[in-house]
Structure 1
Amino acid sequence: MKTGDDYFLAGRSLPWWAIGMSLVVTDIGAVDMVAIAGSAYLYGIVMGNFDWLGSVPVMIIGAFIFIPMFWRARVTTIPEWLGLRYSFSVRTVVALIWGAVLSISLGITLYVTALAFNLIMGITPQIIVVAEDKTIFDQIVEATGEAKTHEFTFLQSIEEANKRIKLLGNPNLILVDSDFADPTLIQSPEDSPVTGFTISAVNEAWGAATMQDARKPGWNIMYSVILMGIVIGAYTLLGGLKAVVYTDVIQCAVMMGGSMFILFYGIYYVGGISEFRSTIVDLGERTMYHFDLVIPVDQEFEGEGTQLPWAGVFLGLGMVLANAYWMSNQTIVQRTLGARSEADAKASYVFGSLLKVFIPFLMVVPGIIALAHNPNIVNPDTASSMLVRDIMPVGFVGLFFAAFLAGLMSSVDSALNSASTIWTKDIYQPFFKPDADPHHYLVVGRIITVVFLIVAMICANFADGFDSIYTLIQTIYGLFQGPVLAILVLGALWKRATATGALVGLITGVAFTLSLNLIHAYASEDNKLFHADDPFLYVAWWSFVWSMVATIVISLFTKAKTAEELKGLIYERGKKSKNTETSNG
């Protein structure tokens, strides 16, 4: 490896099949293995829309319109293409946005994977609560304030508790409702304290005092974050995109194979398909739509509006977030930019779309199986990990861990490589050293990789403050993906779009997105803008519409580039554009 192109684009030598498998495992990653299963635990099969609607058709469209156009332009990043199409200012703003978001999302990825790693390895502190009613259990969890740092298990008999203790070993704390059961009947190890309580005494002060009795965890989650970051960062640093993609090929096979085993064994464990379905249906109102791909807009979940109504899924996901993800996400598109030919770039997206058809079965359904197995999981992001730990035969937990580790490695190496590419090619090169030799950019790219890894580890420390990791990620991406998609689509399909129009549409679109989120967050319950607690799907749609309108209006009153300047940068049906030289802006 001698140049920046070797590091960032694998010397433009990647075959379609390797890129296709890399696209799938990069998209899924460790976050989706954990977070999609967690969301499926809460909302059901509707999460499959993120692949069946949000990936398959979009990838086919991208394969024949956007990806060939990007590849022929010979660019290294999406911001670079926007710079060629519009202006250096547009390129810089988009690069800064993506650079910041990639570091945050990488931190979230490290946190989620460390969370699952600790749970599978038995490192997460465990608290057993024995009570008659789940409402009492919920009060206990709220009073302690430790739902994100401890694993709480709700049981309704002393016998169940003793079986659980035998299965898990020595939990950190066992809490027993004294009005319901006798705490002295608990068969606990000496270092697992048993505490009786009465519901009338449960409050925040009681929770804080009770947690003082719990055995302190000996391994902080940040230790796992740092350990994983160093191991995966090392091979990304040394190998660049080629190492990332070919490692992804192996990881894709391992991840899909492991997930398939969990799917079939999980259904077998809960009694087969019929028993599985009836168990979910019998849970009542909370699972009324768990097997529906379309959920009514006014459906509520535990007193809150649904996060995934059909209107939001169709407009926000199908029309905006999915297209933005597969057309403008640097971690995804960068692989196709390293393809050895235009045909390979196209074929990689088609092949990837075929593989994506199976992902909801492998990632979403296990989350629903976890619900059938244990409907009282406090932190849904741990659902898949708890399912594997509880039901998998001895020795087979390693299979899930291998699949999980494969997803983790792909997520981290992709984000690291793409972040260093954007900051090197779109920020460092044009602003600080535009005429350096290719080897210099290779060195700088590696330095930036290390810096990003450190920043991501710091960001990971703040991820536990959010209820749903998947919703958090979608909300972050929803802040800017609508505006970026608007200027990208107009730039590719409408030659009249101007640099001024794009810049105004982008900046005001992001501001509009922030405004919608803030107004919705601080509005009273009767005056909420959207019928959803986290309205990222609606916000994505309206920010896209705003940016489209703003860009079109301003473009009509400002000067557009000439046909010669736009050669190779506008989609022309049935025509192949000549390669356009890469520019610094």
Structure 2
Amino acid sequence: MVLGPIDYTIIIVYLIGTVAFGAYIGRKIKSGKDYFLAGRSLPWWAIGMSLVVSDIGAVDMVGIAGSAYLYGIVLGNYDWLGSVPVMIIGAFLFIPMFWKRKVATIPEWLGARYNSSVQTTSALIWGIYMPISLGIILYASAVMLNVLLDLNPKILVVSDEKAIVENIAHATSVKKYDFIYSDTVDDAVQKANDRNPVIIFIDNRIGTSADFQKLFQNIPFVYFSKEEVSPSWGESNMHRAREPDWNIFYSIVLMGLIIGVYTFLGGLRAVVYTDVIQCIVMLGGSLFVLFFGIYKLGGVTEFVDIIGAMGERTKDHFSLVLPVDTKTPHPWSGILFGLGIVLANAYWLGNQAIVQRSLGARSMADAKASYIFGALLKILIPFAMVIPGIVALAHNPAIADADKAMATLIKTIMPTGLLGIFFAAFLAGLMSSVDTYLNSAATVWTTDLYKKFIRPVADDTHYLFIGRLFTVVFILVAIYVARFATRFESIYDLAQTLLSFFQGPSLAIIVLGVLWKRATGPGALAGLIGGVAFSSLLMWVNNNATIPLFQVSEPFLYVALWSFMLSLMLTIVVSLCTKQEPDEKLKGLVYRYD
């Protein structure tokens, strides 16, 4: 199914409307406080919806659906176990502590609780991570845009064996191209005329007729045998391909510019209120895709039977708990300890891009209620994001790049007219993730680094100017970084791997800071730096050792767990060996110590 005029109209109206709405909200922004914290005027319901749509934005819509396509419903644990319980705990214990301190960032709170060195170290970590994360999110947005608008360059494979398409996809560049299959010459000619591929690979078993040169005019083609397909073969032959009319980099730039405009103009207030609209559109659209996708398969029973009939590939696709020795990145031990204890808590209690919304709440009650409301909405997310990934597998088990699963499903099952509406729904989630990290990155660099080291004393309009300047810089950095995301099989695993380097150590010093008044600045600094160094060491040894440390393909859950444990121990030991922080400094920063 292709987009019709009505679909394009809906998409254009939605994009223009979002940018105009963000600009309208931004007209009242006069200071850095307005830009970074929305003047601390946000209501609980808006923050709650913004929390959810930001969390399930681009990476989840593309990445978690793609991971579900590969691994199954086990990905639902990232919401049911990894979000709901910790959001409830955070609402009553941690978020009030942050809000009443009137800080703009988590590093700023760490500076108040510990010392300037801890604040600066944490700010540098987040300040480096968020522009990189922005690049990953922009790439996810571009993937969805290209698939839904059919913008990816095409490669046509002509063979009597359909399985060879996947081999060629991985031998060439599965992230950059869409692969078209044909088993006859006549069908190949028709598809070449309709889809305009950049190159055609023809199986020797189909024939080597000289007529192919006439049949495929102006399109380079290569004869191949099944045995010779390899990465080196793919690299050498792809040099013969025509230059595509549209490159995914163009989509990355387009998405970056659109989202950058309304974030630049409107700050956090524009981010949150556009997220409210995007949450409604995205959740409604995603749930409709779920039900309509299962309906098109014939019902729930037929859906389950189709997945079950795929054999070994899908034997665990409906299992929430996977064994320790699973080859997927999601064993039960990693899910329980790495996710349940570390990554989930670190994300909802210490992720600057998430917590910043509650810091802009108009009251402590609103800050608490926003997390509770968000937790209720998160219960729906596996139905809206994870299961559709499995539905995509049932509809098309031969998608070479799993990150294109959700977009391919939408494009396959949605009729003209509805396709534009659901494209807008998914565009909503993509835009929400980018605006979240863009505004938060600008906040950290302005508040914790620029204001502290370069211009400590200035009027608030100056910090507003600097915040907007950083917004422009980080969009450009994200566009550059996005080009490298194509090297990873799953962008969801990539995002989680990056977080695992520092989320465990960050959580350790936050938890000890709130719950243990004996924790000191030197202890927190040792725990943070030591934990990040240990995470890096674990990753390096696992990737370079003859026998890997971990059995799973992407060990981010285990890395997060072990770095958290080491950081806890380092912080406790060094704190006990150093002078206790003064009581007057700790009041209001440690739980039940006012």
TM-score normalised by L of structure 2: 0.91
Conservation of the 8 A alpha-carbon contact between 1:297 and 1:306: no
Residue of structure 1 equivalent to 2:564: 544
Residue of structure 2 equivalent to 1:481: 503
User: 130, 137, 144: which is aligned to 1:109?
Assistant: 137
Deviation at 1:119, TM superposition (A): 1.6
Deviations, residues 529-580 of structure 1 (Å, cap 9, x unaligned)? 11112100000000000000110111111111122210000111xx8x5xxx
Matched, 1:221 2:248: yes
State the one-letter code of the partner of 1:552. Answer: I
Secondary structure of the structure 2 residue equivalent to 1:560: coil
Paired with 2:334 and 2:215, the residues of 1 have a C-alpha distance of 49
Secondary structure of the structure 1 residue equivalent to 2:362: coil
Structure 1 pair 140–481 and aligned structure 2 pair: CA distance change class (3 A): same
Deviations, residues 98-122 of structure 1 (Å, cap 9, x unaligned)? 0000000001111111122112111
Paired with 2:187 and 2:107, the residues of 1 have a C-alpha distance of 56
Conservation of the 8 A alpha-carbon contact between 1:170 and 1:188: no
User: 401, 426, 429: which is aligned to 1:404?
Assistant: 426
Residue of structure 2 equivalent to 1:535: 555
Residue of structure 1 equivalent to 2:45: 17
Deviation at 1:162, TM superposition (A): 6.1
Matched, 1:365 2:387: yes
Residue of structure 2 equivalent to 1:254: 281
Paired with 2:445 and 2:97, the residues of 1 have a C-alpha distance of 23
RMSD: 2.3
State the one-letter code of the partner of 1:146. Answer: S
Residue of structure 2 equivalent to 1:285: 312
Secondary structure of the structure 2 residue equivalent to 1:127: strand
Structure 1 pair 277–439 and aligned structure 2 pair: CA distance change class (3 A): same
Conservation of the 8 A alpha-carbon contact between 2:192 and 2:216: no
Residue of structure 2 equivalent to 1:561: 581
Paired with 2:575 and 2:194, the residues of 1 have a C-alpha distance of 64
**What stretches of structure 1 of length at least 5 have no aligned partner?**
300-304, 578-585
Residue of structure 2 equivalent to 1:497: 519
Q: Map residues 27-426 of structure 1 onto 2, 5 A cutoff.
A: 27-133=55-161, 136-143=164-171, 145-154=172-181, 157-158=183-184, 165=191, 169-179=195-205, 196-203=223-230, 206-208=233-235, 210-212=237-239, 214-299=241-326, 305-426=327-448
Structure 1 pair 205–566 and aligned structure 2 pair: CA distance change class (3 A): closer
User: 531, 534, 554: which is aligned to 1:509?
Assistant: 531
Deviation at 1:370, TM superposition (A): 1.0
Paired with 1:23 and 1:359, the residues of 2 have a C-alpha distance of 12
Conservation of the 8 A alpha-carbon contact between 2:153 and 2:247: no
Deviation at 1:255, TM superposition (A): 0.7
Residue of structure 1 equivalent to 2:26: none
Deviations, residues 502-543 of structure 1 (Å, cap 9, x unaligned)? 00011010000000000000112xx21111121000000000
Deviations, residues 479-524 of structure 1 (Å, cap 9, x unaligned)? 0000000000000000000111100011010000000000000112
Deviation at 1:198, TM superposition (A): 2.6
State the one-letter code of the partner of 1:561. Answer: E
Paired with 2:214 and 2:137, the residues of 1 have a C-alpha distance of 38
Deviation at 1:227, TM superposition (A): 1.5
Conservation of the 8 A alpha-carbon contact between 1:125 and 1:151: yes
State the one-letter code of the partner of 2:489. Answer: D
Structure 1 pair 470–186 and aligned structure 2 pair: CA distance change class (3 A): farther
TM-score normalised by L of structure 1: 0.92
Deviations, residues 435-481 of structure 1 (Å, cap 9, x unaligned)? 21111111111111111111111111211122211111101010000
Deviation at 1:257, TM superposition (A): 1.2
Conservation of the 8 A alpha-carbon contact between 2:44 and 2:361: yes
Residue of structure 1 equivalent to 2:542: 520
Residue of structure 2 equivalent to 1:580: none
Deviations, residues 385-443 of structure 1 (Å, cap 9, x unaligned)? 11112221122221221012111221111111111111111001111111211111111
Paired with 2:86 and 2:214, the residues of 1 have a C-alpha distance of 56
Secondary structure of the structure 2 residue equivalent to 1:564: helix
Secondary structure of the structure 1 residue equivalent to 2:584: coil
**What stretches of structure 2 of length at least 5 have no aligned partner?**
1-28
Deviation at 1:316, TM superposition (A): 0.6
Paired with 2:81 and 2:133, the residues of 1 have a C-alpha distance of 23
Deviations, residues 87-144 of structure 1 (Å, cap 9, x unaligned)? 000000000000000000001111111122112111101223344546533432343x
Deviations, residues 1-51 of structure 1 (Å, cap 9, x unaligned)? 222111111111000000000000111112210001100000000000010
Deviations, residues 195-241 of structure 1 (Å, cap 9, x unaligned)? 55332454556534543554431122221111211111111111111
Paired with 1:109 and 1:252, the residues of 2 have a C-alpha distance of 17
State the one-letter code of the partner of 2:451. Answer: Q
State the one-letter code of the partner of 1:394. Answer: T
Paired with 2:232 and 2:583, the residues of 1 have a C-alpha distance of 71
Deviation at 1:269, TM superposition (A): 1.5
Single out whichever of 285-294 and 388-397 deviates more from structure 2: 388-397
Deviations, residues 339-383 of structure 1 (Å, cap 9, x unaligned)? 000000000000000000000100011111111111111111111
Structure 1 pair 173–387 and aligned structure 2 pair: CA distance change class (3 A): farther
Conservation of the 8 A alpha-carbon contact between 2:158 and 2:188: no
Conservation of the 8 A alpha-carbon contact between 1:130 and 1:161: no
Aligned length: 565
Single out whichever of 162-171 and 284-293 deviates more from structure 2: 162-171
**Amino-acid identity (%):** 58
